[in-house]
Structure formats: structure tokens, C-alpha cells
């Protein structure tokens, strides 16, 4: 059986420190994976907002979502995956806000139109009632 020589006792702390240092550097050097799911979710949310006419009703929110997605893509290119994921999530949230704002504004427009129609109908009924008396 082959025996490897034991390092001198005075070198043991250095060997342990070197091993611990290499583990530490290896852990720091590993880059998190590309946040593909977050980026895809942001792109999908922006696409949904565009189809829902958010550009007309919530243009600022939609523009912010696009800007944040561009920042996320830039972070990926610069290997800053944690920042990229955070920006992608913010982009998705902003696009969802744009879509929700669009829905609210469309519903408000329908409600306003219905109230105007009801008001016109009431006026017509009062005019017809007053004329027949």
C-alpha cells in the first residue's frame, strides 16, 4: 500500500486555509442561471397588455414595463442574473398593472356611456309625459 507523506504540522493551518479559500471563491464565482421563466413571463404580460389596448389606456405603465424588460435583458448580458430576475419581475408586474388599468378605464367608459343613455332616456320619458298631460 502506498502512503502519502504527511505535511509538516506547521503547514496544516495553511493547507486548511487554502482549501477553505478555494471553496469560498468557487461559491462566489458561480453565476446563478439565466431567469428564463421570469423573462418569458414579463414578455407574455407585455404582449397581453398590448393586445388589451394598454397602449391607449395605460401608456405610461406599459412603457415602464418595456423599459424594465430592457433593463433585465441588459442585466443578463452583463451576467447580473439576480438583478435581471428582479427587473423581469417588476416588468411583469407593471405590465399586469397596465392591463388592469386598461380594464378599469374601459369599464368606466362603458359605465359613463350607460349613465348618459339612461339620462337621455329619462329626459325623453319626461318630455313625452309632460306633452301628454
List, run by run, the mean pLDDT of 10-residue segments along the chain (133 residues): 62 63 60 94 98 96 98 96 97 98 94 88 82 54
All 3 cell numbers of residue 129?
A: 309625459
DSSP 78: T
Cα–Cα distance for residue pair 122/46, rounded to 1 Å: 42
- Which pLDDT value is given to residue 8? 61
- pLDDT at position 30: 75
Domain ranges within the chain, ordered by starting residue: 34-102
d(CA 42, CA 22): 37
Which residues 6+ apart lie within 8 Å of 64 measured at CB?
Answer: 94
CA angle 106/108/114 to nearest 5° reads 105
CA 15 to chain centre: 46
What is the chain's alpha carbon radius of gyration, rounded to the nearest angstrom?
Answer: 31
Q: What's the pLDDT at 4?
A: 62
In this structure, how many other beta carbons lie within 10 angstroms of the beta carbon of residue 127?
A: 10
User: Could you identify the residue written with the cell 368606466?
Assistant: 108
Provide the pLDDT for residue 122: 86
Amino acid at each position: 500500500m502506498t502512503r502519502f507523506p504527511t505535511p509538516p504540522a506547521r503547514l496544516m493551518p495553511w493547507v486548511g486555509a487554502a482549501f477553505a479559500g478555494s471553496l469560498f471563491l468557487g461559491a462566489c464565482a458561480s453565476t446563478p442561471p439565466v431567469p428564463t421563466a421570469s423573462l418569458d413571463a414579463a414578455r407574455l404580460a407585455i404582449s397581453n397588455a398590448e393586445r388589451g389596448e394598454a397602449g391607449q389606456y395605460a401608456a405610461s405603465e406599459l412603457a415602464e414595463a418595456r423599459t424594465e424588460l430592457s433593463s433585465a435583458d441588459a442585466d443578463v448580458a452583463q451576467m447580473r442574473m439576480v438583478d435581471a430576475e428582479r427587473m423581469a419581475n417588476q416588468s411583469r408586474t407593471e405590465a399586469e398593472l397596465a392591463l388592469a388599468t386598461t380594464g378599469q378605464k374601459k369599464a368606466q367608459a362603458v359605465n359613463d356611456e350607460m349613465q348618459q343613455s339612461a339620462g337621455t332616456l329619462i329626459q325623453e320619458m319626461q318630455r313625452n309625459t309632460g306633452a301628454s298631460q
